[in-house]
Amino acid sequence: MQTVIIKETTILKADKRIKRLITRSHKLATEHKRDLYVDNPEFLVYHWSGEAAAFSPNTGELSADKDTRINLGDHNARVDIGGKFPFINEMPSKKNGFEYTPGNWSEDYAFFLDHSPAEVLHNEEIVGEFHWMLEEARFFQYPESQRELGRKARELGAGGISFTHTAPDLSIGLFLGWSGILDKIRERRRAFTEYGNKKSAEYLAASETVALAIMRYIEKHADKADMLAENETDPELKANYEFVAANTRAIISAPPSTFAEAVQWIQFFTTVERINGHGNGYGRLDQLLYPFYKKDLEEGKINREKARNLVAELYLKYGGNYWAFGGKDRDQKDATNEMSWIGIEAYDITGGYNHLGLMWHPNIDKDFFNYGCDVVARHNCGTPTLINYDILRNSQLKSGVDEEDAWNVAYSGCQWYCVVGKEYNDQDLNSLVLIQPMQRAMQITADRNIDDFEDFWQIYDHEVNRTANILRDFKNETYLWQAKVWPEMVTSFCMHGPIEKGRDVTDMQAVKYNYTSVNILGTPNVVDSIYAMKKLVFEQKKYSMKDLIKVLDSDWEDEEIMRRNFLNQPKYGNDIDEVDSLSIRVSEHIREVLENKRNIKGYWFRPSLFQYMGHTYAGQFVGATPDGRKAKEPVAHGNNPMHGRNTEGMASTMRSFCKLDYSNYQGGSFQVELQPSFFPEGSRKGDFVEIFAETFFEMGGVQINLNTIDLKLLKEAMEHPEEEEFKNIVVKVTGYSAHFTVMDRKFQEEFLQRVNYSSL
C-alpha cells in the first residue's frame, strides 16, 4: 500500500457488437421496459399484498392500478412492448374451463408459449426473450382459505408469497438435452401408470405437454433465424443469423455439445422458466460451463474472448440473473477455474446492472478475488456481491443438510443461497415484522402493570410465538395448494426428484430439502427499543409503559425531550457489549421460536436477518418505536444498525454485527456505502474493497453489499432524472441492483439516508 502508482491492469473493453447490445439493455431499463411491480406497500413489508398472489402482473385481470402500484426498479427479465398478451381470450382455461390441476396449467402454458413470438434480433448471437408472463394470461390466485389466513397473519405482523426462489441444477438439462428430459418424463409416466398412481401419471403427462411446447418454442427461433438469414443481404448480418439458426437448431432435442450451444441452452431454459415465475437463482455458472469451455478450447473452437462475449450476451439478454462463482468443490478445494474469471470478465465489459455473487473462502485464488474486488470498485454497482462460502455451507450443515449436498451451495438471490437442484426452501419472500409482537407485548405489560423486565420478556416471547404460529398456518395452507395453483413445472425439469417422483418441485416430498425461510424485519429497532425500555422503564423507572405507549401513539408529539432520552440511549452498531448482547438474545430468540415450528413438509422455519425493501415502507405500518424513532422514518435495513446510529466507525459496526454467528441464520448482509472521496488519489480502489471484505469475512460476516457512489451525485440525479449523465447510475439497493433514476422515489430517499463511511 506504500506505492502511489496505479498498478498496471489491462482494463477489458467490449467490442462494437457487444457495445450495441449494452446500449440496448440500458435503454430497456431507462425506458421502463424492465420494470417489476408490487401491488402495494404491504407487499414490501409483509411480502404478501393481499391482492395478487405474488408480484403484481404487469397487465391482465390481476394487475394493479397504475397509480398505486410500486415500482421496484428494472428488476424484470420481461421486456415490455406495451399492451396485454394478444391471445388472452383464447387461453385454454378461458375457453375450456379453469381447474387447479397440473394438466390445466400445462395446457395454458403450452398455448402461451406457442403464441409467444420468437425474437431473433439482429446483432445478437444468443437469443430468447419474452414480453408477457403467464400470470398475465392465466388466473393465478389462491383460494379464500389461504387468503383469509394471509390477512390474519398480517394482523399479527407476518406474511409471504411462495414463488420461485430456488436454484435448479442446470447440469441436468445440459447433460440430457430436451429429448433426454422428455424421455425421462415418459419413462416415469409409464412406470406410475403401471403402479396405478394416477396423480403422478397426470402430473407427468402435463410435464410432457410443457416439455414439447418448449421444444417447439426453440424450433421457432431456428426457423426464424433461417428465414432472416435467407432474406439478408449484408454478409455480416447474414452470417450472424446463420450462426443463430445452427446454434438453436442443434439444441431443440439434443443436449448442447459446444460452449455456444450450452450458453444458448441456458438462455432458453431461463427464458421459458422465468416466463411463469420471478427470481430463481441458477447456480454456479463457472462449474456449469467449464467442461464445455475446456472441450471447445482443446478442439480449437473457441478462445477466451469469444467465450467472454457469449457470457456477456447471456447477462444482457436475461437482464441480470443470480449466478455464483468461486466457492469450494466437493473435496473442499478451491473451485475457481478459468470460467470463473471469464464470468467476471464478462461483467467487466458490460458493467451496470447485474447480480453476480463471488463466494470467497480463505483459500480462494487470491488473484481472482482481487480481480473481483477491483471490478466492484471500478463499476460502482455493488457487483459482484461478496459472500463467505464457508458460512453458507455451515449454515446448511447446521440445518441438517447432508455433507454430500452442502458443498454445492450457490449464492442465489438478494441474500439467500441454495443447495443447487435439491431444495425448495421458500426463500426470501416471507416476512416477520418483529416490531409488531414487541408492541403487543408492551401493551399487555402496561395493561397488567408488569414492572419486571424478565416478565416483559416472557410476554414478548409469547407474542413472537403467536406471530410465528399464524405465519406457519398461512404457509402450510399455501403449501397445500401450491402445486395445484401454480406448479413450477419447468424448474422441476432441472431438480433432483420431481420427475423421478412424479411430483412438482412445489409439492410435498418432491425434493430433498423443504425448510421455510423467513426474513426478519426491524431487528435493530427491536434491540434498540427493548434496551431503551429496559433502562428507562424497568430499571430507572423514569417513564411508565403506559405513558410510553400513549406518547408513541401520538408519534412523540410535544414530547421531544422524552424522545431524545430514548434516542440517546446506547445503540446497536457501536460495539457496546451490553447492547450487542441484547442483539444476540433477540436474534437467537427468533431463531429458536422459528425452529420449533413445523411446515407441512416436515421441516422447520429458518430466519434470515435481512429483508430487501420493507424497511423503507414499514414506518406507516408500525408507527413510532421506543428506540426514539418517529413514524415517518424507515426502520433498520436487515441487521444493519438503524440509519445514523453507528457513530464509531466501520470496525465497530462490523464488530457489533459479527457478534452474531451467521451460520445460525440464512443470510444477513452488511451494507456499506462509500463515497469516492474515501479513496486517495492514485490508489487502487479494489484493494480497499478487498481489505473491507476480507476483514469482514474473517470476523465471521456472511455477505457484504458495497456501494461506492457519490451521494451528491445521487441527489442531483433525483432532481434531474431525465439528464443523460444520471441515467446510467446503478446502485446496489439491497440484495439486488437497480438503475437509480428508475426506482421509486421513496426508495431513492431512503438510499440517500444511509451512512457513508467517508466522513469519519
Q: How far is the CB of 753 from another protein (least distance, A)?
A: 15
For residue 77, the SS3 value is coil
Residue 547 binds another protein (CB under 8 A): no
Distance CA(94)–CA(750), nearest Å, equals: 43
Residue 338 binds another protein (CB under 8 A): no
- Cell numbers at residue 649, please? 466507525
Residue 555 binds another protein (CB under 8 A): no
Is the CB of 513 or the CB of 688 nearer to another protein? Answer: 688
| Cα–chain center distance at 232 | 41
Is the CB of 335 or the CB of 650 nearer to another protein? Answer: 650
Report residue 682: phi and psi, to 5°: 75, 10
Q: How far is the CB of 683 from another protein (least distance, A)?
A: 7
Distance CA(401)–CA(616), nearest Å, equals: 34
Report how many residues bind another protein under the rule CB under 8 A.
33
Residue 402 binds another protein (CB under 8 A): no
Q: Which one-letter DSSP state was computed for residue 256?
A: P
Q: Which helix (DSSP H) or strand (DSSP E) does residue 178 occupy?
A: helix 170-195
Cβ pair 110, 210 in contact under 8 A: yes
Is the CB of 411 or the CB of 696 nearer to another protein? Answer: 696
Per-residue binder mask for another protein (CB under 8 A), 246-285, x = binder: ----------------------------------------
Is the CB of 24 or the CB of 659 nearer to another protein? Answer: 659
Contacts of another protein in 37-76 (CB under 8 A): none
Is the CB of 235 or the CB of 682 nearer to another protein? Answer: 682
What are the beta bridge partners of residue 355? 322
Residue 366 binds another protein (CB under 8 A): no
Residue 6 binds another protein (CB under 8 A): no
- Looking at 246-254, 334-342, 564-572, 576-584, which segment touches another protein (CB under 8 A)? 564-572
With CB under 8 A as the contact rule, the residue among 687, 710, 716, 718 that binds another protein is 687
Contacts of another protein in 482-541 (CB under 8 A): none
| Other Cβ atoms closer than 10 A to 596 | 13
Q: How far is the CB of 567 from another protein (least distance, A)?
A: 9
Is the CB of 4 or the CB of 13 nearer to another protein? Answer: 4
What is the pairing mode between strands 669-674 and 703-708?
A: parallel
What are the beta bridge partners of residue 359? 326, 387
Which amino acid appears at position 179 of this protein? S
Taking alpha carbons only, the member of 625, 408, 618 closest to residue 525 is 625
Cα distances from 609 to residues 546, 587, 617, in angstroms, run: 31, 8, 18
What are the beta bridge partners of residue 417? 411
Residue 7 binds another protein (CB under 8 A): no
Distance CA(108)–CA(372), nearest Å, equals: 43
With CB under 8 A as the contact rule, the residue among 366, 564, 598, 712 that binds another protein is 564
Distance CA(627)–CA(629), nearest Å, equals: 6
| Cα–chain center distance at 654 | 23
Cβ pair 30, 727 in contact under 8 A: yes
- Looking at 178-186, 538-546, 691-699, 722-730, which segment touches another protein (CB under 8 A)? 691-699
Residue 390 binds another protein (CB under 8 A): no
Is the CB of 124 or the CB of 559 nearer to another protein? Answer: 559
With CB under 8 A as the contact rule, the residue among 11, 682, 719, 724 that binds another protein is 682
Is the CB of 11 or the CB of 561 nearer to another protein? Answer: 561
Residue 363 binds another protein (CB under 8 A): no
- What is the CA angle 41-585-673, rounded to 5? 50
Q: How far is the CB of 759 from another protein (least distance, A)?
A: 9
Q: How far is the CB of 760 from another protein (least distance, A)?
A: 5
Distance CA(235)–CA(18), nearest Å, equals: 18
What is the pairing mode between strands 70-73 and 36-38?
A: antiparallel
Is the CB of 87 or the CB of 757 nearer to another protein? Answer: 757
Taking alpha carbons only, the member of 611, 463, 433, 435 closest to residue 528 is 435
Is the CB of 564 or the CB of 745 nearer to another protein? Answer: 564
Q: How far is the CB of 548 from another protein (least distance, A)?
A: 16
Residue 561 binds another protein (CB under 8 A): yes
Q: How far is the CB of 654 from another protein (least distance, A)?
A: 9
Q: How far is the CB of 682 from another protein (least distance, A)?
A: 7
Cis, peptide link before residue 102, omega less than 30° from 0: no
- Cell numbers at residue 364, please? 480462494
- Cell numbers at residue 320, please? 441480470
Contacts of another protein in 694-723 (CB under 8 A): 694-695, 698-699
Strands in 430-433's sheet, in edge-to-edge order, are 158-160, 430-433, 516-521, 605-608
Per-residue binder mask for another protein (CB under 8 A), 574-613, x = binder: -x--------------------------------------
With CB under 8 A as the contact rule, the residue among 9, 23, 96, 568 that binds another protein is 568
Residue 757 binds another protein (CB under 8 A): yes
Distance CA(338)–CA(304), nearest Å, equals: 9
Residue 233 binds another protein (CB under 8 A): no
Contacts of another protein in 637-676 (CB under 8 A): 648-652, 655
Taking alpha carbons only, the member of 327, 333, 480, 289 closest to residue 409 is 327
With CB under 8 A as the contact rule, the residue among 679, 700, 716, 728 that binds another protein is 679
Q: How far is the CB of 430 from another protein (least distance, A)?
A: 35
Distance CA(700)–CA(131), nearest Å, equals: 43
Q: How far is the CB of 650 from another protein (least distance, A)?
A: 6
Distance CA(490)–CA(507), nearest Å, equals: 14
Is the CB of 455 or the CB of 698 nearer to another protein? Answer: 698
With CB under 8 A as the contact rule, the residue among 194, 404, 681, 724 that binds another protein is 681
Residue 680 binds another protein (CB under 8 A): yes
Residue 179 burial class via C-beta count within 10 angstroms: exposed 0-12, middle 13-18, buried 19 and up: middle
Residue 362 binds another protein (CB under 8 A): no
With CB under 8 A as the contact rule, the residue among 59, 101, 476, 683 that binds another protein is 683
With CB under 8 A as the contact rule, the residue among 234, 560, 577, 725 that binds another protein is 560
Taking alpha carbons only, the member of 467, 444, 377 closest to residue 153 is 467
Cβ pair 335, 293 in contact under 8 A: no
- Interface contacts to another protein, rule CB under 8 A: 1-2, 4-5, 560-561, 564-565, 568, 575, 648-652, 655, 677-683, 687-688, 691-692, 694-695, 698-699, 757, 760
